[in-house]
Structure 1
Amino acid sequence: MKFAERLHAALINAGYEPRPSVLEREFNLRYWGKPLTLHAVRRWLRGEALPTEDKMLVLAQWLRIDPQTLRFGDEVPERIGREIDQLSALAHHERETLEAFLKLSQPRRRLVSEIILTFVQAEASQS
């Protein structure tokens, strides 16, 4: 549904009516692959389906919006930026520990994760 809302807003911002017939016509003028049906674009506008990556790129270029923003919204790049900031703020030994953790096999990672979560729960119950 959120993609459909972003698609509606992008169409309006680009000066188009957010109607299936408009989207079908304008999209097919720009898309080099098999033309889309009215039913397919209607599903996009209703939030019932997402376009494939190639179609998302055409939509983004046409509507002059970042494809990642069209698909995921603004919150994803912001969240990724916050996570990168958090990782860069780690002390050297903490980064080394994380790098070592990532070198472990999947079963050992799961075990270490469970141990850490147990410590976190114990810490929270003491507070």
Structure 2
Amino acid sequence: MPSAVDPKAFGTRFRQAMQRKGHGGLGATQLAEALVSEFPEGLSVQSVHKWVNGTAVPRPDRLAVLARWLDVSEHWLRFGPDPKASNRQTGGSDRPLNAKDLARRLQALSEPQREILEALLLEFEKIPPE
């Protein structure tokens, strides 16, 4: 397991996971408010701001809560993809996506990404199922 945590890389993964879960548009204050129930001991807007901007990494106990809330692995959120893991999906869990999560992830894509995905789906439709 890596020993060093890169705050900037953490911030990028944190923003990606937030986007996937439909929280990408939240500012630090809104995000801190959304996390109130997850952190009953309190959470400062400054801490959240540092996480989002990649200038700090949360303590392990807080990171565990964030990973659960964002539905990603703690390892991925802290360090990035685990080279030993069999599941190579970025930040993914071992369970398949449900329709609601899939729709949320599709909505989070940019227009060019959606166009690429649509072209890919059209290609798959040309291949008869086995």
Distance, in Å, in 2 between the alignment partners of 1:66 and 1:3 is 13
Distance, in Å, in 2 between the alignment partners of 1:18 and 1:3 is 17
Distance, in Å, in 2 between the alignment partners of 1:18 and 1:71 is 21
Contact 1:8 1:18 in 2 (8 A): no
Distance, in Å, in 1 between the alignment partners of 2:17 and 2:63 is 12
Offset at 1:18?
A: 4.4
Q: Which has the higher contact order (CA 8 A, sep 6+)?
A: 2
Identify the residue that residue 15 of structure 2 maps to in structure 1.
8
The Cα RMSD (Å) is 1.6
Selected match of 2:52 from 45, 59, 62 = 45
Tell me which structure has the larger Cα radius of gyration: 1
Q: What stretches of structure 1 of length at least 5 have no aligned partner?
A: 83-127
Q: 2:48 matched to 1:31? A: no
Distance, in Å, in 2 between the alignment partners of 1:22 and 1:2 is 22
Distance, in Å, in 2 between the alignment partners of 1:18 and 1:6 is 15
SS at 1:70's partner residue? helix
Structure 1 runs, 4 residues or longer, greater than 6 Å off: none
Between Structure 1 and Structure 2, which shows a larger proportion of helix residues? 1
Distance, in Å, in 2 between the alignment partners of 1:20 and 1:70 is 18
SS at 1:22's partner residue? helix
Normalised by the length of structure 1, the TM-score is: 0.56
Taking the TM superposition and a 5 Å limit, the aligned residue runs for 1:115-126 are none
Contact 1:20 1:38 in 2 (8 A): yes
Selected match of 2:27 from 15, 19, 36 = 19
| Deviation by residue 1:50-70 (Cα, 9 ceiling, x = unmatched) | 100110011011110001100
Distance, in Å, in 2 between the alignment partners of 1:6 and 1:21 is 19
Selected match of 2:73 from 35, 55, 66 = 66
**Percent sequence identity over matched residues?**
27
Offset at 1:38?
A: 0.8
